[in-house]
Amino acid sequence: MSAVFIPPAHPVTDVPPVVEETLQPGEREALLTRIKRLMRERDAVLVAHYYTSGELQRLAEETGGCVSDSLEMARFGHASKAKTLIVAGVRFMGETAKILNPEKRVLMPDLNAECSLDLSCPADEFTRFCDAHPDRTVVVYANTSAEVKARADWMVTSSIAVKVAEHLKARGEKLIWAPDRYLGDYVRRATGADMLLWQGSCVVHERFKAEGILALRAEYPEAAVLVHPESPAAVIALADVVGSTTQLIRAAATLPNPVLIVATDNGIFHKMREAAPGKRLLEAPTGGTGATCVSCAHCPWMAMNGLKNLLAVLETGGNEIHVAETVRARAVHSINRMLEFAGQSGIVVAGQSAD
Ligand code: 13P
Ligand code: SF4
């Protein structure tokens, strides 16, 4: 038997500060007018993630685009007749949109909008890891590069990860899981599947602190705790609901609790407020006593999307996403496998019945 290959940890230390776009009085309206005109002229739609600014989310909805989780962003692009997709999110979301829609032009406001999970999983090292375990089915999270998806058997999102792992376990398959070790640990505990975990993490979610949530819950005993599964196990253990971004928004609307402690990027509050009007939304603490946080419940890469750089890509056609056809042709299989599984199992991946 070959020796177990222990994946190297790739802690992402070079995290940029969160810089929100600042606009002069009057500038916002002028930008919005020009953006809307150019979107019509360029036959473009805006596809935005829940973690982008409320401004971009409103614009996407007002102009016939969509606001959703990473998978639904790609599915929307596929269904849309527009020739150009503008993806306001992080790079892997633009790449996934391109993989599923090769005939469309995919632009992003800022190509430096990375993701620490994607950065933690370089394709060459990941390939060595997989090659060392040829008996294992390779399952990767959406938050990976096109090259990593091309090496995988399955791509999953957080809304369907447990279901896919259960399915593969029932078929007697052993898994490689990458890159999020917290999500992997959660799925492993939920399913009992035999999983080897890559050691990546999300710089936003790994900062949530169980101790801080306990203190907040003592202050608000009527509160429910909503947690994204990229969070550490001690935080997940305190959750009333664990789920993807769409599932957490749905839970906010349906739970009876008047107060919600939310352990995910605070960009989600824009949609959560709409879904659960009148409820009090509290950000889960990211630092213990005396600690400082780097990410402070907001993804610095998501914050790179703004109205100014959105206008710039519409004007110049710059920041286009390209995926080599040899990579795309392989990556699309791992994505389609999940989509087919979701369809066959009657699971709506983004938003309704995956849990
Ligand atoms: P969702 O697909 O659940 O929206 O998550 C994407 C993400 O990056 C979470 O940090
Ligand atoms: Fe990646 Fe975390 Fe940002 Fe999501 S919140 S895009 S997982 S760094």
Residue 142: pLDDT band (50, 70, 90) is very high
Q: Quick one: 139 and 185 in the same domain? A: yes
Q: Can you give the pLDDT at residue 14?
A: 83
- Same structural domain for residues 210 and 153? no
| Pair (286, 308) in one structural domain | no
pLDDT at 301 over 80: yes
Same domain, 88 and 57: yes
Helices (H), 244-288: 245-254, 269-275
- Based on the fold, state whether residues 138 and 86 are members of the same structural domain: no
pLDDT in the model for residue 298: 94
- Atom of ligand 1 minimally distant from the CA of 205: 10
Ligand with minimal distance to 48 CA: 1
pLDDT at 354: 32
Residue 5 lies in a domain: no
- Among 304, 319, 320, 335, residue whose Cα is nearest residue 89: 304
Q: Is 118 in the pocket of ligand 1 (CB under 6 A)?
A: no
Give burial (CB, 10 Å; 0-12/13-18/19+) of 224.
buried
Residue 344 confidence class, pLDDT cut points 50, 70, 90: confident
Residue 6 has a pLDDT of 67
Claim to verify: residue 91 and residue 146 sit in the same structural domain: no
**Which helix (H) or strand (E) segment is 259 a member of?**
strand 259-263
The model's pLDDT over 153-209, given as tens digits with 9 standing for 90+, comes to 999 999 899 999 999 999 999 999 999 999 999 999 999 999 999 999 999 999 999
The predicted structure's pLDDT at residue 355: 36
pLDDT of 145 above 80: yes
Is the residue at 87 inside a domain?
A: yes
* Domain co-membership, 212 together with 243: yes
Does the C-beta of 137 come closer than 6 Å to ligand 1? no
Rounded average pLDDT over 63-77:
87
Atom of ligand 2 nearest to the CA of 51: 5
Q: Of all residues in the chain, what percent carry a pLDDT higher than 90?
A: 82
> How far, in Å, CA of 351 to CA of 50, rounded?
12
CATH number at residue 136: 3.40.50.10800
Q: Determine the Cα–Cα distance for residues 349 and 340; give it in Å rounded to an integer.
A: 11
* Interatomic CA distance for residues 99 and 113, integer angstroms: 18
Total domains in the fold of the chain? 3
Residues 104 and 129 grouped into a single domain: no
What is the number of the ligand 1 atom nearest to the C-alpha of 143? 8
Average of pLDDT values for 110-126? 97
Q: How far is the CA of 329 from the centre of ligand 2 (A)?
A: 26
Q: Say whether both 171 and 227 belong to one domain.
A: no
Query: Can you give the pLDDT at residue 5?
Result: 65
Q: Is 132 inside a domain boundary?
A: yes
User: In this structure, which residue's CA is closest to atom 8 in ligand 2?
Assistant: 115
Full residue range of the structural domain in which residue 253 is found: 205-298
Report the separation in Å between the CA atom of 1 and the middle of ligand 1, taken as the mean of its atom positions.
37
Confidence of residue 3 (pLDDT cuts 50, 70, 90): low
Q: How many C-alpha atoms does 337 have within 13 Å on its Cβ side?
A: 21
Give Cα 87 to chain centroid, integer Å. 13
Say how far apart CA 202 and CA 191 lie, in whole Å: 22
One domain for residues 272 and 231: yes
